[in-house]
Amino acid sequence: MNDRVYNFSAGPSMLADEVIVKLRDDMLSYEGTGMSVMEMSHRSKVYLAIFEDCKARLKRLLGIGEDYEVLFMHGGATGQFSAVPLNLMKTGKADYIITGNFSKKAAEEAAKFGNVSIAYDSSENNHSRIPSSDELKLSADADYVHLCSNNTIFGTEWKTFPDTGSIPLVADMSSDILSRPVNVSDFGLIYAGAQKNMGIAGMAVVIIRKDLAVKDSSRMPVLYNYAVEIKNDSMYNTPSSYSIYVLDEVLKWIESIGGLEEMEKRNRAKAALLYDYLDSQNYYLPHAQKDSRSLMNVTFTTPDKDTDSEFAARAAERGLVNLKGHRLVGGIRASIYNAMPIEGVRKLVDFMDEFAGEKR
């Protein structure tokens, strides 16, 4: 394991060493089957056991009730930008809360299929904050309200979710699912791309309250139809079978360390290290406002762009890689998802302090 780096990539992103070693060890022959999981028929007994284990573990970890279904769908979160309005716009209108790049994209995609009302938009402050409940302009008759729980690019995260009453709340949790416990019953639908806290890019996990799945599929691509996916237990076509296995290994790892309560504790400790340092100095400028700070993506800038680049390059020489910020916000972004150990964050803070000391 000696040459593994601390990978601060926003996604796809690092996996826990325990998981990646298991993937390696299983590659030639999974549990004596003589084949890799990616070579297995998705209808085989061995594979179905992995599939069921993954679903059961996810339900257990997130406390998902019987009135919800877990689906493994193709296309990452972006596929859900289309599937959500196609399935959930029963009367043709929805409220979207824009707090970053992906919630904006979700709203634009939904507008193809119905009437989208923007309940809030933080563009003006370059998405540096999450609104309070009373800032939201919610419609009385929306089919659903959509938000993105963590804004990967800008480094903001919802601490408490708005109460939308009987109107289903839909959340894109791509970049903070499994980072903390969440009350699933507060949501009509939760979706997340797998490539941050759940493994491999290309798949989305969807947690849907069953009554929200429509049956009419007249003009909807079959793979976007929640009712079809529910009926076929995510196997209308061959699912992303290897990605589901990787997710199962990730879930085993989370359970082994103590579940989502422990995961949140660790994530809070990691984030606190970084934010406490940022608040203790005046060389780096944090992007997100204090009460909106993400536990997953910590964004800040050095005094200028060239120094941002120098920072990222010199950090990489120390094995602290992929720290460059997204082009939309610039600067530095440290993505410290579940799999990032606290040692990586400590090394980053040490480097930040040393770098600032040189520059000051």
Among 50, 58, 64, 77, binds a second copy (CB under 8 A): 77
Q: Which two tokens stand for residue 62?
A: 């997130």
CA-CA distance, 60 to 224, in Å (whole number)? 26
- Helices 17-26 and 241-257 pack at an angle, to 10 degrees, of 140
313 binds a second copy (CB under 8 A): no
- 182: three-class secondary structure by DSSP: coil
x/- map, 226-245, a second copy, by CB under 8 A = ----------xxxxxxxx--
CA-CA distance, 299 to 174, in Å (whole number)? 18
x/- map, 23-62, a second copy, by CB under 8 A = xx--xxx--xxxxx-xxxxx-x------------------
Among 82, 128, 175, 338, binds a second copy (CB under 8 A): 82
CA-CA distance, 226 to 115, in Å (whole number)? 21
322 binds a second copy (CB under 8 A): yes
123 binds a second copy (CB under 8 A): no
Instruction: Name residue 216's amino acid.
Output: D
CA-CA distance, 218 to 206, in Å (whole number)? 22
Q: Which two tokens stand for residue 162?
A: 């708005």
User: Rounded to the nearest whole angstrom, what is the least distance from the CB of residue 149 to a second copy in the complex?
Assistant: 18
317 binds a second copy (CB under 8 A): no
Please state, as a whole number, how many other Cβ atoms lie within 10 Å of the Cβ of residue 177.
27
Contact segment (CB under 8 A) with a second copy among 87-95, 175-183, 216-224, 274-282 equals 216-224
100 binds a second copy (CB under 8 A): no
Question: Radius of gyration over alpha carbons of the chain, in Å?
Answer: 21
101 binds a second copy (CB under 8 A): no
DSSP for 15-45 reads --HHHHHHHHHHSS-GGGSSS-GGGS-TTSH
44 vs 91, which CB is nearer to a second copy? 44
20 binds a second copy (CB under 8 A): yes
Contacts with a second copy by CB under 8 A lie at 1, 3-5, 7, 9-15, 20-21, 23-24, 27-29, 32-36, 38-42, 44, 74-79, 81-83, 86, 109, 112-113, 193, 195, 199-203, 217-224, 236-243, 246, 319, 321-322
